[in-house]
Amino acid sequence: MRMRLDSVNPQLNEAEARVLGALMEKEATTPDYYPLSLNALVNACNQKSNREPVMDLDEGAVREALDLLDEKGLARAMSLLDSRVTKYAHRLQEVFNFDRRETAILCVLLLRGPQTPGELRTRGERLHHFEDLDSVELALNRLMERDPPVVKRLPRIPGTKESRYTHLLCGDVEGWEPPPESVSGPGGHRDEERLIRLENEVASLQREVADLKQQFADFRKQFE
């Protein structure tokens, strides 16, 4: 049963948002290793790529965030038969019944803050392939039309061409300011874009390999 956003008291703090986003990301990008152990989740929360801002959460902070997410129905601990280690998974699909486009967009917003539609399409490629910007904007509109809304369009910053969108799981957001140039240093933006392109290429190759494996498996079945 789909729950209303306010029925689970979902207002998250920064650590909860990072933990939830990391669980969503790893479910899509590394399904063979999902659900995640506590150690793997700590590493996912603190990784330096695809995170804005970069955080340094210890096991205690991540465990506390998991407990709070569990109270809100958004995450759970799992004991798997083939593992002695407790694993953790999100429950976003059970609570909100998002489709893949909506999940990808919300994941990027949780992990990277306010984004333009173009950034969402590029940075969400590892999570879901968007054919064009129209498909991104359609998913954004669906998230904004929920009752209550999960995403909001922010006022456009003077001198910029596109509006940015933000999630509302941590409460309302009035505006956005770009991080200081000194944070990324000279060439930081170009380096980040190159990294994104490489990650997208790797994701595309992984999909092609998976397709080839499936085709080969289907071919073998013909002779069994």
Domain with residues 99-178, CATH architecture? Orthogonal Bundle (1.10)
What's at 200, amino acid-wise? N
Query: Taken in order 194, 199, 200, 204, is the CA torsion positive or negative?
Result: positive
DSSP 8-state symbol, 121: H
CA distance 115 to 109: 7
Mean pLDDT of the chain: 85
Of 197 and 211, the structure prediction assigns the larger pLDDT to 211
Residue 189 has what pLDDT? 52
pTM of the model: 0.77
Most confident of 72-76, 194-198, 208-212, 216-220: 72-76
User: What kind of fold does domain 1-97 have according to CATH?
Assistant: Arc Repressor Mutant, subunit A (1.10.10)
Mean pLDDT (whole number) for 127-144: 95
Beta strands in the chain (DSSP E): 36-37, 75-78, 87-90, 151-153, 165-167
- Quote the pLDDT of residue 216: 73
The full set of domain ranges for the chain reads 1-97, 99-178, 189-224
